Amino acid sequence: MKQEQAETIALQAITYISTQEDALNALLAQSGAGPDDMREQLANPSFLAGILDFVLSDEPFLLAFCSDQNIPPELIVHARRALPGAENLWDG
């Protein structure tokens, strides 16, 4: 997967997160960032990687997001691998 495709998926994820109050609050708490900080980082591939890490960290949320977007969960893993910082996350 190309980085641009992965970034698009991450942007879909942050849009979905923003519609889920509990998930948004959890993301803000985990990141320590405020909504304005997050908006400023939307073009940052490392930030987008963190969004996918957040989605992947909660299987029920991952499955809900994938169902909502009509995409297979493994696509999220492929997208994460295409963004910075994935070199040591998974073998293979």
Domain regions of the chain by residue span? 3-81
Above 80 in pLDDT, residue 9? yes
74-84 average pLDDT score: 95
Non-local (6+) Cβ contacts of 70 within 8 A are none
Mean pLDDT in the chain?
Answer: 91
Contacts of 11 (CB under 8 A, 6+ apart): 42, 48
**pLDDT attached to residue 87:** 66
Q: Quote the CA–CA distance of 76 and 81 in Å, as a whole number.
A: 9
More confident of the two residues 70 and 87: 70
